[in-house]
Structure 1
Amino acid sequence: MLLRFRVANVRSLRDVQELSFVVPEGSKEEQAAARKTLLSDGRRLPVHTVLGVFGANASGKSNVIAALKNMRHAVLRSYADWTSYDGIPRDEFALDPKAASESSLYEADFVLGDGVRWTYGFELGERRVEAEWLFAYPKGRRQVWFDRDATRDKEYDFPGDRLRDRTRLARTTRSDALLLTRAANDGHEQLTPIFDWFKNNLWDVTPETERTQREAYTAIQLLKSEDFRRRAEELLQVADLGICGVEVEQSSSGRPLVRLIHSSGGEQMAMEWGAESWGTRSWFALIGPLLLALDTGAVLLIDELDASLHSRFAAEVVRLFQAPWVNPKGAQLVFTGHDPSLLRTPGGGRLLEPGQLWLTEKDERGVTELFSVADWEPTDEEDLMASYLAGTFGAVPRVSEGQIGRRLLRTNDMVRMEAEGV
C-alpha cells in the first residue's frame, strides 16, 4: 500500500508537497473508516484506500497525478530511455528561471506484501541523477540500504553492507540512470521487488482519453474470464443504464466486438456499440482497470473522475475501493474531480472523510499548494460539501456571481469603441 508521496519542482508543484494516505493520529472517526495495515514490526497502521484531490480549474490537481505517473515512468524507463546527451525529462516548474538549475524531487513511502515499509526517492538534475536513496523499516527503525549523492567524491554509500552486488551496481549505473532501474534490469534479487511495486502500481486512467484502448481491454477480459464477465455485468446493471447483459465476440480484425443488451418494456435488444452514449462507454471502459486494480491490490490514478461519468457513477467507484468486502487486497484510488457532490452521500453523510479530501490552490507565483481538509480540523458534524462550496477551506474559483458576464460585456464595449474610433 502507498503511504505517502512527496514531490517538488515538478510542473506547478514548485515547493515540496506531500500527499498522505496515513490517517492523522487522534482521528477516531477516520481510523474507523480506514484500512488497518499490519506492519512487519507488529503495528497496525490506519491507511485510507481513497484520496480525492479537488480545486479550482488550473490549480494543479492534474499535476499531482502527473507527478505520480512521472515517478513510475522514471523507475521503469530511466535505464533504457534517459541519456545525458538528450538530458533527463523533468517537467520542472516553468515560471521561475531558477527552477531549471534546481533538482526535481520524488519520494514514495509504501508497504510491501510482507509488511515491511520502504521509502524510495530520488532527485533529478538536468543531465544526471543528483541523489537516490532506499530505506527499509523491518522492525520500525530505519535501515539505509543505499544513499547516493552525485556531489560526493564517493557517490554511493551502502551502510551495513545489506545490498549484494553493490560494487558492481555502483560501477555500472550511469550518472543519468537510477540504480534501482539498473538493478532490476539485471534481475537483482533484493531490489527487484521494489521495482516491481512501481511496475504494478500507479496505473493512470484519464476517462476522456485512451478510452478506446480501455474499451478493448475490458472486452478482451470479457472473452478470457467468466468471472470477469459476471462482475462486469453486475457493474453495468447496478449503474442503472437499462443494461441486462453483454455480448462480445472476436472479430476478424482482432478487435473484440461488443454489444450491450438493453431491456425495455420486457424486451431485450442488443445495441451496436457506436450507438451507446458517451457515459455508458466511459463506464464500460473504466470497468477493466477497476477490476484489475481490485484483483491485484494496485494503486489506481484517475484524473477527472467526474469528467465523463455521472456523479453517481463516480461515487460508486469510490465505494468500490472503500468497501473491504469488495476490496480485500487493499487496492487504492487517487482521483481528481470537480463535482462537490462527491463529498456527500445521498443521505447527507460523508463519502470522504477530511483526511481523504485534498485540495490544490495556486498562489500569485503560480505555485500549487496541496493540503488536506483535515488540517482545518472540521467538526464531525460539519458538512464538508457545504463548507467547500462556501470557500471555508479555500481552493475554489475566485469568481463572483456575474463577473464573467460583466467582463465580457466590458471587453465587447472596448472593441466597439476602438472600431468606431472613440
Structure 2
Amino acid sequence: MLIDFTVSNFRSLRDRQNLSMYRSARTLKVARAEEDPWLRPDVSPVAAIYGANAAGKSSVLDALGFVSRAVEDSYARWDADGGVPRQPFKLDRQHRTMPTEFDIEFLAADGNEYRYGFAVDDERVLSEYLHVYRTRRRSILFERERDSYKFGDSFRGPASLLRETTRPNALFLSASAAARLEATEPAHDWLTERLSFYHATGFPAEHNRIKRLLARDADFADQITDFMRQLDLGVQSVSVVKQEMDPEERERIRQIIDARDDELLTFDDVIGTFETELQLSHQGDGERFELPFNVESDGTQALISFASVAIRALAEGTVCVVDEIDSSLHPLMVAELIAVFADARVNRKQAQLIITTHDVSLLRPGTKLESDAVWVVEKNAVGASDLIPIRDFGLPRKDENLERAYLTGRYGGLPMSSLVNSMLEARG
C-alpha cells in the first residue's frame, strides 16, 4: 500500500513535489464509520491527477516508475560504466547537475511500514536509506552516503560483502535482492512487484496475460466473465480458442527461443500466445454468438484488459498506476472502476488505483472519488510542474460540485481558456 511519495528534480518536477495518500480528518471519520472497515482507514485507495496537456501529470507517475525500475534493475542491468539513466529538470542550468531525489513510504506484505529513498546524479548514487517501522519508532536497516554505510541492529546479512560489491551507480537495495537478503526482501518485493504501471493506450499488452490466466485459473475465468457481464455489454462469457499455426512458422519461433537461451522465456509460453486467441460470447436474438476478438471494439478490448488488471490488484492488494485512463475507457466505466477500488466490501486488501485523467465528470457529486484523492498539476512560468491537492484550496464541502470549481479555474490546472483570442492577439 502506497502511503506517501516525494520527488524532486525529475523531468518537469523541478522542486520537491509530494503525493500523499493520507485522508483528511473528515474523510477519515467517514471511512472509519463504514460497516466493512479498511485495513488502513487513514489511507485513500484512489488518487486522480488532473492537469492540462504537457502539464506534468505523467511525470509524477514516471517518477514512481523510475524508483521501481531502479530497485529492480540498477545492480543487474545498468551499465557499470554508464552512470545513472535519470532525467533531471533541464530548463535551467543549475538543476541539470543537481541531484534527483526520491522518498517513498509504503506498507509491505509483511505488515510493516517502510520508508525508502535515494538521491542520484548523472554518475552515481549519492545517498540511499531504508527504514522500517515495526512500531511507531523508526528502525534503521541501512543508510548510505556515497561509499559510506551505516547498518542498524535489525540488519542481518553479509553487510561488508554487499558494501564492497555494490557499484557506485547501483542501489544497495537492488544488490541486496540479488544476494537474497532476508532483511530487505519485503521492501524490495513491494517496490518491484506490488507497483504495477500501465498506459491506457497500451491495453493490448494485457491480452496475452489474460489468455494465460484463463488457461490455468478457473477462478480468474469466472471473475473476468462476471466482471464483463456486469458492465452490460451483452458479453456472456470469456474464453480462449485455439488457432492453427503454420508448421514452418512454428519451427522458426522455436529456433529463435532456443537461440536466446532464456530460462524465463519458454517455447510453450511464447507459442501459446500465437496459437490462442480470446473470444467473447455475446447474447443475440434468442441465442449466443461467438465473435473473433479482433472484431471487438477498442473499447471492449480495453475493458477486458482493465477488468483483468482490477481483478489481480484486488486479489493481491497491489497498486495500479494508470496513465491517461480516459483515453481508452468511457467515463462511466472509469467511474465504475473507481467505485470498485473505493468500496471496502469489494476491495478487502485495500488495493489502490492511481490515475491521470482529463475526465472532469468524475468530479461531480455522487461519484466515489473523494476530494482528498484529487490532485492538480500545473506548470509555472519557468516550465516546472507543481503537484497540488485540491484540499490546499480549502477542504470542499461534502456536497460541493468539484467539476464546476475545477472548470472555473479555482484549482488551476486548466489549458489556455481561448486559443482563438491568443491567435488573434499574435496577429496583432
**TM-score, structure 1 normalization:** 0.89
Q: Number of aligned pairs?
A: 398
1:13 counterpart residue number: 13
Query: Once the 2 structures are TM-superposed, how far is the Cα of residue 141 of structure 1 from its aligned partner?
Result: 1.1
Query: Once the 2 structures are TM-superposed, how far is the Cα of residue 159 of structure 1 from its aligned partner?
Result: 4.1
Query: Once the 2 structures are TM-superposed, how far is the Cα of residue 165 of structure 1 from its aligned partner?
Result: 2.0
The CA distance in 1 between the partners of 2:307 and 2:162, in whole Å, is: 41
Identify the range of structure 1 (263-272 vs 65-74) with the bigger mean alpha-carbon deviation: 263-272
The CA distance in 1 between the partners of 2:17 and 2:46, in whole Å, is: 18
1:224 counterpart residue number: 216
| 1:221–1:288 Cα contact (<8 Å) kept | no
The CA distance in 1 between the partners of 2:326 and 2:401, in whole Å, is: 20
1:119 aligns with one of 108, 112, 115: 115
Letter of the structure 1 residue corresponding to residue 419 of structure 2: I
Query: Kindly tell me: are residues 45 and 240 of structure 1, through their superposed partners in 2, closer, same or farther at Cα, counting changes over 3 Å?
Result: closer
Considering only aligned residues, what root-mean-square deviation do their CA atoms show, in Å?
A: 2.2
| 1:36–1:46 Cα contact (<8 Å) kept | no
| 1:23–1:31 Cα contact (<8 Å) kept | no
Letter of the structure 2 residue corresponding to residue 370 of structure 1: L
Matched, 1:274 2:270: no
Q: Deviations over 1:222-266 (max 9, x none)?
A: 222221111111121222222122231233452221221122332
Query: Once the 2 structures are TM-superposed, how far is the Cα of residue 305 of structure 1 from its aligned partner?
Result: 1.0
Matched, 1:265 2:285: yes
The CA distance in 2 between the partners of 1:118 and 1:52, in whole Å, is: 24
Query: Once the 2 structures are TM-superposed, how far is the Cα of residue 169 of structure 1 from its aligned partner?
Result: 1.8
The CA distance in 2 between the partners of 1:393 and 1:336, in whole Å, is: 16
Q: Deviations over 1:348-380 (max 9, x none)?
A: 424211111111111011111111112222122
2:413 aligns with one of 378, 390, 395: 395
Query: Kindly tell me: are residues 200 and 121 of structure 1, through their superposed partners in 2, closer, same or farther at Cα, counting changes over 3 Å?
Result: same
3-state SS in 2 of match to 1:289: helix
Query: Once the 2 structures are TM-superposed, how far is the Cα of residue 37 of structure 1 from its aligned partner?
Result: 6.3
The CA distance in 2 between the partners of 1:19 and 1:288, in whole Å, is: 26
Identify the range of structure 1 (246-255 vs 320-329) with the bigger mean alpha-carbon deviation: 246-255
3-state SS in 2 of match to 1:109: strand
2:257 counterpart residue number: none
Query: Once the 2 structures are TM-superposed, how far is the Cα of residue 387 of structure 1 from its aligned partner?
Result: 1.1
How high is the sequence identity, in percent, across the aligned residues? 33
The CA distance in 2 between the partners of 1:159 and 1:237, in whole Å, is: 52
Letter of the structure 1 residue corresponding to residue 23 of structure 2: V
Matched, 1:59 2:55: yes
| 2:214–2:221 Cα contact (<8 Å) kept | yes
Q: Deviations over 1:318-368 (max 9, x none)?
A: 112112222211111111110111123xxx424211111111111011111
The CA distance in 1 between the partners of 2:335 and 2:23, in whole Å, is: 21
1:208 aligns with one of 188, 195, 201: 201
1:329 counterpart residue number: 349
The CA distance in 1 between the partners of 2:387 and 2:71, in whole Å, is: 24
| 2:6–2:102 Cα contact (<8 Å) kept | yes
Unaligned runs of 5+ in 2: 246-271
Identify the range of structure 1 (132-141 vs 161-170) with the bigger mean alpha-carbon deviation: 161-170
3-state SS in 2 of match to 1:241: coil
3-state SS in 1 of match to 2:200: coil
The CA distance in 2 between the partners of 1:323 and 1:37, in whole Å, is: 9
2:78 counterpart residue number: 82
3-state SS in 2 of match to 1:65: helix
Query: Once the 2 structures are TM-superposed, how far is the Cα of residue 27 of structure 1 from its aligned partner?
Result: 4.4
1:375 counterpart residue number: 392
The CA distance in 2 between the partners of 1:144 and 1:397, in whole Å, is: 45
1:315 counterpart residue number: 335
The CA distance in 2 between the partners of 1:30 and 1:163, in whole Å, is: 41
Within 5 Å, give how 1:17-416 maps onto structure 2.
17-25=17-25, 27-28=27-28, 31-32=31-32, 46-150=42-146, 155-160=148-153, 162-209=155-202, 211-253=203-245, 254-255=272-273, 256-344=276-364, 348-376=365-393, 377-399=395-417, 403-407=418-422
